């Protein structure tokens, strides 16, 4: 958690590497999830589920990152 005491979130690829498009800090879980959903249902639809999958992480008090979820819209198959 940053010194300000506020949570910080980020989006990463399923292997934990920085997401190639969405690699930026987010101030809230909702903002990160909205960015992931927008990308996954737009530009991300051109990729397979394995490449489109995203993990949502939160920064802990010690400065480490912990996975707290996987936006479902990014794990679903392509629309028919």
* pLDDT for 2 beyond 70: no
| Angstrom distance (rounded) from CA 57 to CA 80 | 30
pTM beyond 0.85: no
Within its chain, how far is the Cα of 12 from the centroid? 5
Residues 6+ apart with CB under 8 A from 1: 7, 8, 59, 60, 61
In the prediction, which pLDDT does 77 show?
60
Q: What is the dihedral of CA 56, 61, 64, 70, to 10 degrees?
A: -10
pLDDT digits 0-9 by tens, 21-55: 999 999 999 999 999 999 998 999 888 878 889 99
Confidence label for 79 from pLDDT (cuts 50, 70 and 90): very low
Mean pLDDT for all residues in the chain? 87
């Amino acid at each position: 958690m940053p010194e300000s005491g506020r949570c910080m979130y980020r989006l990463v690829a399923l292997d934990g590497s920085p997401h190639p498009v969405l690699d930026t800090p987010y101030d809230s879980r909702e903002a990160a999830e909205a960015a992931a959903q927008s990308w996954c249902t737009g530009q991300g639809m051109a990729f397979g589920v394995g490449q489109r999958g995203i993990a949502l992480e939160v920064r802990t008090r010690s400065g480490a990152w912990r996975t707290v979820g996987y936006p479902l819209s990014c794990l679903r198959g392509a629309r028919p």
